Structure 1
Amino acid sequence: MKKRNLRRVGAILLATTMLAGCGTKGQDATSANSGTDTAPDTTNSGGSTDGGAATGGDTQMTTDNITLTYWHYEDETTINLLAEKFMEKYPNITVETRVIEDMSTDLSAAAAAQTFPDVFSGTDSDTALANMYWADITDYVENDPETANLMPTIEEYGIGKFDTSRRFAMPTYYQPSAIFIDRNVIEHLNLEMPRTDWTWSEMIDLIKAATVDDRTGMKYYGLGYYNRLDSLYGIAACSTAERAIKGEFGFDGNDFDLQYWAIGEQEFSDLKLGGYVAPQQNTQQMEDWSGDWSTWFGSTGHVAVFSEGLWSFQNIWNTEGYQEQYGLDIIPYVTPNVVDEKEHNVIGNMYMGGVSTSCEHPYEAYVLLKFMGWGVDGWNERIKIYSDTSITNASGVPLKSSNMPVPITLDSGVWDGFKSLFPTDEDHKQYWDDYFASITRPVPYGWYNIAGYWNFCDQYFNNIGIHDLVDGGQAKAATYVEEATRQANYYHAEAMISYFGPSGYDVLSPEELEKYEAIVSSF
């Protein structure tokens, strides 16, 4: 048996263990395009709201020589190159960048030393909000014409507003979840590739059908996962008419309902206990299966369906010669809806970035935040950088294979360039077009956009080990629904009062404050 020894860890620098409901925070889609998905499009193709000389054509920009600091979690080489392009556009502004190692520690130290960054993008919104690190940027965003052409859930769900009327952050880095299928495995097992507008039950059926152990060779598993299925299920679980879910654990902007999570959690556990899920890397089970402790299931050619992030394709499967070496034909699939609803949301990593409350040049800092995050000008520069594979980072990796984000602008020129970085041959292009059409309504993992979410995970959910108990067959997910819902609503209400009440940003209405206080007092 040929050993497949892919050490995946180094290739995925910004993602940590098994993203799911209350999985580890990242340091870091489900019918096909059906006519109601928002396809990347439309206006201002390749255009810009800026342009010109010292102020880039923006009369609000200062002409003074200033320095702005930008702290981030992205690939260091990519951000440094973007900073150079920003400084070419605004020659009076010097940009200094830094990679954040630990958000809470680094920002606390900077605050104590009075060296706080002007702009920062991070993974832990609770830290930023609890310390009032982010300034209110509502007026900048609402008066910026480019924000009218962003993915629609950013405005619809108030992503970066944290369920208030004011905006404190904007998404600066987006990496959606993804389902992939190894077509070679499907063909080997004499199964049929599903339609791209498949349903959740069809996906589960395929996972079970593709789990084959004839005892004569290496077993075929139906599923390999990085992203747990319960988080995917929770976003796709019901129609908007039933409950307008806009966050994990059935969160609808007012409160939580964990009954949807529990169904997905139990189904995932049943798959694991039933032997349908491939072993994880660096485990005895992996060595027993593949012959090598360090094998990654995605390199074996013996797994049919993968619950991953888009980064797994970019950073690994899409690197030159990789699929050929391991006999793979990896196809992207839309993360299926549980119900046949064409308005399609998809969960993903979505770092939030903002202007610090200590910044002396907040408008200029906002323009920098936009350039580095969602702006068309910045994304046009990103496409140039990613398209040139001779440009590598310190590890020698081409930048498109180093956690390249997905644009949140819908600008057609940007999306044409972005799509060109993925397979465009006749045999694969339609799959990719369907996938890209399905990821334009993002829902961030909870810790990015729900106040108090990580407090709930850390102090209740993870503290009693719910994932492990259910995965191990020691408990049923439904057992925790009532109490976990009560706990989640408490931690959210407590955080809303703390962050946005009179002792915080003070932006809650009397009615909102009364509602949250009632939840806390009844706990």
Structure 2
Amino acid sequence: MKLMKKSIVALLAGVTAFTNLNLPIANAQELPEMTTEEITLTYASWDNFSVQEYLANKFMEQYPNIKVELVTVDQEVWNDGLSNLAAAGNLPDVFWYQGNVDVPIINGWLGDMTEYWEADPESADVLVTLQETGYLDGESKLAAAVFYEPYTVFLDENVFNALNQDMPSADWTYSEMLELMQTMTVPEQGIYGYNDFTKLVTMAPIVQSDAKGEFGWNGETFDLTGDWAEALTTQAEFVRTGVHAPFFDTDEAEAVFGDRLLWAASTGKIAIQLDAWWTKDLFATDEFIDKGIKWVPYPVPQGESAETLHKPGFVDFGSISSATEHPREAYELLKFMGWGSDGWNARIEAFDTLTNDDGSLMFEMPAGLPLVQNQALWDEVAARLPQDDYYTAYLERVKEPVPLGGAVIPGFQTWLEEVYFGGEYGDVENAAINGEVNPADIAPELTELLNQYHLDALDEIF
């Protein structure tokens, strides 16, 4: 697909981003018929390969005239692998892209699926916050969400019980979480309020202000001067005052835990772990059960004044190739392997039947969550998770995912690498923790730079 040349001024007068355009799903037209000719489609993703094979076979059963060939790409150098395939004229008909959305856009890899997406009744069933992602220039649907795992806040119920502290409601607030982190810090017992993999600076702007993306993204611009600055100030304070657990592979960790390489969440001395949905599998293993650690899932809390249940999530995106000779069929394969209900029913079958060499189930619990509102699918997933109120409440509150910026907002990932983690202040978060910068002081400058990086990326794209 060729992108239309437009001036940056004209672009800003209309829509200014790849994501969150609040575009309606128009299903007035009908999807074109699928071909009945014998064709082959190539497909590349970093999904579990056995699941890919299972889903591909199910798709071919549904469409016997279409052969699906899985393309292997090294995930460590995914975009380089796609570049090599594209240079050789072998870009897969359907593929996931990784990280920086600028790469596939500027390279012209993303095919236009607008005609199919907007005529497809299933598009209206996609989770509402994900319907808006993947549009460029306010017109062209170039990508769609294909895999989703939410941010998850795990609480160790046994630590809460030991300290006679009530577990919070699943409708807890952001400030309530911060208060609990402090309350659950008990130095005389060696208990810390929290440890993190995911960060307050990502959560706060989304849940506090109903943002559509990281760092105060409202669909057009970023703003780090409010929630982001406050969250980083809090994060730095919690580290300095011992509310946050000692960092991995430090002298402090060795002094406290007796092993500098012991993950804090596996010590039984942490009340709250900021993490991701996939970590539920690890927390269900004998290692944690035998230690008397009972991590239970909570949704990222809601902001006090929030009007939505927007929560940050790890969302992967895919597209059809701009060079595919079969865009209609490629779209159907992308949907089946990603958000489509037929594909998700097949995925659930895969979770139930795929086994390891020793005969054990490959998946003790489902990987990822549905990308559609179809409650029957959510019920099927729920039936394969621990049957308790924690999981039930969690699933009800994670249906408004907000993707991370690099995957959907041009310029964001480049700014992260060149400014946020490697600019004048080095790693901005570490600089704040070490007392070298005041987040409120540098937030206006960072905001200006981030917005300029976004505009520059749009300028380069167009």
Q: TM-score, normalised by structure 1?
A: 0.78
Contact 1:171–1:374 under 8 Å retained in 2: yes
Equivalent position SS for 2:135: coil
- What displacement does 1:99 show? 4.3
Distance change >3 Å, CA 317–CA 200, structure 1 → 2: same
Distance change >3 Å, CA 442–CA 287, structure 1 → 2: same
In 1, Cα distance between the equivalents of 2:449 and 2:305?
Answer: 31
Deviations 1:320-356 (A, max 9, x none): x344212122222121123243421000111110001
- What displacement does 1:495 show? 1.3
Contact 1:392–1:399 under 8 Å retained in 2: no
Partner of 1:438: 397
- What displacement does 1:298 show? 2.0
Q: Comparing 403-412 with 257-266, which one deviates more in the overlay?
A: 403-412
Q: 1:248-397 alignment to 2 at 5 Å? A: 248-259=214-225, 260-313=227-280, 315-319=281-285, 321-388=286-353, 391-392=355-356
Letter in 2 for 1:147: S
For residue 373 of structure 2, the aligned residue among 410, 421, 437 is: 410
Q: Comparing 227-236 with 392-401, which one deviates more in the overlay?
A: 392-401
Q: Percent identity?
A: 32
Structure 1: tracts of 5 or more residues without a match: 1-57, 502-523
Contact 2:98–2:316 under 8 Å retained in 1: yes
Contact 2:145–2:318 under 8 Å retained in 1: yes
In 1, Cα distance between the equivalents of 2:224 and 2:314?
Answer: 21
Deviations 1:252-277 (A, max 9, x none): 11111112211111111111111111
Residue 58 of structure 2 is aligned to residue 96 of structure 1: no
For residue 122 of structure 1, the aligned residue among 73, 76, 97 is: 97
- What displacement does 1:393 show? 8.3
In 2, Cα distance between the equivalents of 1:223 and 1:336?
Answer: 15
Contact 1:181–1:333 under 8 Å retained in 2: yes
CA RMSD of aligned residues (A): 2.0
Deviations 1:98-124 (A, max 9, x none): 343223211111111111111111222
- What displacement does 1:446 show? 0.4
Contact 2:59–2:336 under 8 Å retained in 1: yes
In 2, Cα distance between the equivalents of 1:249 and 1:411?
Answer: 30
Residue 47 of structure 2 is aligned to residue 74 of structure 1: yes
Deviations 1:467-515 (A, max 9, x none): 221122221111221111111111111112222x2xxxxxxxxxxxxxx
Partner of 1:228: 199
In 2, Cα distance between the equivalents of 1:439 and 1:171?
Answer: 15
Equivalent position SS for 1:455: helix
Distance change >3 Å, CA 481–CA 393, structure 1 → 2: farther
Partner of 1:490: 452
Q: TM-score, normalised by structure 2?
A: 0.87
Contact 1:273–1:473 under 8 Å retained in 2: no
Equivalent position SS for 2:69: strand
Equivalent position SS for 2:220: coil
Residue 155 of structure 2 is aligned to residue 181 of structure 1: yes
In 1, Cα distance between the equivalents of 2:202 and 2:231?
Answer: 7
Contact 2:352–2:361 under 8 Å retained in 1: no
Residue 370 of structure 2 is aligned to residue 399 of structure 1: no
- What displacement does 1:399 show? 3.1
In 2, Cα distance between the equivalents of 1:179 and 1:497?
Answer: 38
Deviations 1:302-323 (A, max 9, x none): 111111111111x30134x344
Contact 1:74–1:99 under 8 Å retained in 2: no
In 2, Cα distance between the equivalents of 1:460 and 1:72?
Answer: 30
In 2, Cα distance between the equivalents of 1:379 and 1:276?
Answer: 41
Contact 1:393–1:399 under 8 Å retained in 2: no
- What displacement does 1:162 show? 4.7
Deviations 1:13-41 (A, max 9, x none): xxxxxxxxxxxxxxxxxxxxxxxxxxxxx
Partner of 2:133: 159
Distance change >3 Å, CA 445–CA 393, structure 1 → 2: farther
Partner of 2:26: none
Contact 2:206–2:212 under 8 Å retained in 1: yes
In 1, Cα distance between the equivalents of 2:275 and 2:136?
Answer: 26
